[in-house]
Structure 1
């Protein structure tokens, strides 16, 4: 017998648990597993969620072997290769577990069918991992400002781009680095080296996609997988995985905190996040809400450095809209993480936008993410230089709100304002274009982390 087929059926009701495990016994001699699944999609009235069912699989030792969410209806694993999102490797005998994740369940419930085909025979040649190199020598300028997008998807989760297409689009956007953040899987980590270039640094990551918020884990070792099977009300679970990321030299990003999709809103609180994604993709009302909350935390003395990323999925989602401009001592993963952790970062809609924010007094100066100390009576000059953002407006903000501003013509502008430490605990800058979007009265062009005064 060259193959066996097992059919598993079931029904899930509204309010069902987040994860369901289907045990599948794999005998010795198996060389490949193929899983095909389907579920019913009854019509629902407006405002009611339709059925959506995610899928993944764990090996006989409890090890992660892949996840595709709802992006595809089948996957294959063998020693040589696997469907994107899944990990190639030997098909060891034992009880494997297919994991089903009912994302939304209609009032009628959800019936599903899973067909598991096991094929037998000798294994093919072992899979050869090719992780991305840890350097991009053509772009390493030493201590400098580096541009990068830290939230991106390809066919290795629910994106439309092949890996090489994402590399090409990132280079065309003028980026120095990207972070690969596929949903709930590490499989792309082992492929990036086949597509890496010497002018784009590729960092490994994962968008840990829980049912109560998403958090990109940045700068993971190649192949490192972070679990996502918990909610905000599960005591201690998030901290355990945050610790794993930190021990690996990475950072935790609270992604799109007010995104309106199911499970996307950030419910974990900000105490365990290293960074907060205040701007996600084209500027919309949920980004405005995040900036307001981030600013409120800042006013309360609870600063979490801000980042912005494109969260690009399809070819129509522009890579680098927005992206980060972070100051680092060099273009290496560790140096970039240090820059982000210090808040030495501002956010831009494109590589054309240039922005500087400095505070100076008594011949001393401090920039974004830094602190300038001065006597409370000493005047402090705040200077914003903006270029590449024609027909926009700069505004300088402190803990009391917007304080000063100015128009940016095509040739650029320098805006100055004077304050004292008795009046300003910090200052930050925004550039906005007076053109409304579908949900906002204007459009963000650039946003900085604060310069602190004291």
Structure 2
């Protein structure tokens, strides 16, 4: 952390401004600003705001003594966005008391890797979710999630209402819902111009359009037992495959088998999961959960981790988990891999799966387990099962 402290006493008179410059590098993830001035009988009134590259990014008067900025969220009254560049704390001296002074602290918090948990498939009242965006966000945050994607069917209206100041990152999205399958477009408020697909060929065209615009594209529940929900097109123009949708069922087993087949063919397709939450289907956000190792706590960082396969699909946001050791990450290439598993129950089956299929089976005897693996095939990944129910699927580590 970089910290700057200022004690300002040489303030101008009433109805004036003071600017305190500071520079933010590309390695900074969060800006925090705190200030204090004498009020009450001293009679000072000193407002505050911040400017970035000569343009105001917000102003809150003297309402708050502590402010923060990040790429995707900021204190009320301020605009989130890029952080790098020249900044100024702007003080507005409304009234100069007899002994006016300001104590100002600027803290620059660098980017650090972190494991975040979230849900990449959910709905609101803007399609058939049955609940307002604020309710959905509060419910997901109360369930321990760090992020939630809003993926209403063929609409982006929900993305205009994303409140980013409630402790959870809301990822703008849309579920392209066609007669030939469903796919999520994540990360953009308006990923495509027109969602309508009149022919099967239109579906990959829309996917390519969204991807070209910068969206992360995930094919959803490819074997869902409905005419429109079942994937009926080619597996092109996408970044990840949803292998676990809602409660574990037959269509998820088929998606898992398809994913394994793709991996064995050498296609480096990351896996995701999603609750596909609707108020009427009695599911819970984060069941299943995506647990991702991110480079930065931002929507950009989360979706980059999705595309690179930097995580696992878990039954819950805070239960069974696996971590590579010695700086290795899921999605990396290696010849050996040390893994640590936690949240196990006695009798859980830990399966080691390669391009050839299941390679080894370990039975948990304690809550934790360590594995030392040698890659003799194109990849290795881990599955944890508790009876007929899965607890965890890791993305692969690839052979070097």
Kindly indicate whether the alpha-carbon contact (under 8 Å) linking 1:358 and 1:451 is maintained by their aligned counterparts in 2.
no
- Structure 1: how far apart are the matches of 2:140 and 2:113? 22
- Aligned pairs for 1:40-119 within 5 A: none
Cα deviation digits, residues 136-157 of structure 1 (max 9, x gap): 5799973111111111011110
Cα deviation digits, residues 22-78 of structure 1 (max 9, x gap): xxxxxxxxxxxxxxxxxxxxxxxxxxxxxxxxxxxxxxxxxxxxxxxxxxxxxxxxx
2:293 aligned with 1:332? no
Distance 1:405 1:153, change over 3 A: same
Cα shift at 1:403: 1.8
Counterpart of 1:426 in structure 2 is 379
Counterpart of 1:308 in structure 2 is 273
Instruction: Tell me the SS of whatever aligns to 1:203.
Output: strand
Kindly indicate whether the alpha-carbon contact (under 8 Å) linking 1:322 and 1:349 is maintained by their aligned counterparts in 2.
yes
Cα deviation digits, residues 347-388 of structure 1 (max 9, x gap): 1111222422437xxxx663211111x4xxxxx354342226
Counterpart of 2:118 in structure 1 is 148
Distance 1:151 1:255, change over 3 A: same
Kindly indicate whether the alpha-carbon contact (under 8 Å) linking 2:119 and 2:289 is maintained by their aligned counterparts in 1.
yes
Match of 2:260 among 287, 291, 295: 295
Distance 1:446 1:232, change over 3 A: farther
Counterpart of 1:371 in structure 2 is 333
Distance 1:407 1:173, change over 3 A: farther
Counterpart of 2:37 in structure 1 is none
Instruction: Tell me the SS of whatever aligns to 1:269.
Output: coil
Cα shift at 1:341: 1.2
- Structure 2: how far apart are the matches of 1:225 and 1:272? 14
Counterpart of 1:233 in structure 2 is 200
Counterpart of 1:413 in structure 2 is 368
Counterpart of 1:206 in structure 2 is 174
Distance 1:150 1:405, change over 3 A: same
Cα shift at 1:232: 6.0
Instruction: Tell me the SS of whatever aligns to 1:293.
Output: helix
- Structure 1: how far apart are the matches of 2:239 and 2:261? 17
- Structure 2: how far apart are the matches of 1:226 and 1:322? 31
Counterpart of 2:137 in structure 1 is 167
Counterpart of 1:37 in structure 2 is none
Distance 1:224 1:303, change over 3 A: closer
- Aligned pairs for 1:273-292 within 5 A: 273-292=238-257
- Structure 1: how far apart are the matches of 2:328 and 2:377? 14
- Structure 1: how far apart are the matches of 2:212 and 2:399? 32
Kindly indicate whether the alpha-carbon contact (under 8 Å) linking 2:382 and 2:393 is maintained by their aligned counterparts in 1.
yes
TM superposition score normalised by structure 1: 0.61
**Considering only aligned residues, what root-mean-square deviation do their CA atoms show, in Å?**
2.5
Distance 1:209 1:347, change over 3 A: same
Kindly indicate whether the alpha-carbon contact (under 8 Å) linking 1:357 and 1:383 is maintained by their aligned counterparts in 2.
yes
- Structure 1: how far apart are the matches of 2:344 and 2:360? 20
Kindly indicate whether the alpha-carbon contact (under 8 Å) linking 1:309 and 1:321 is maintained by their aligned counterparts in 2.
yes
Match of 1:184 among 154, 170, 177: 154
Distance 1:184 1:269, change over 3 A: same
- Structure 1: how far apart are the matches of 2:198 and 2:395? 30
Cα deviation digits, residues 107-138 of structure 1 (max 9, x gap): xxxxxxxxxxxxxxxxxxxxxxxxxx952579
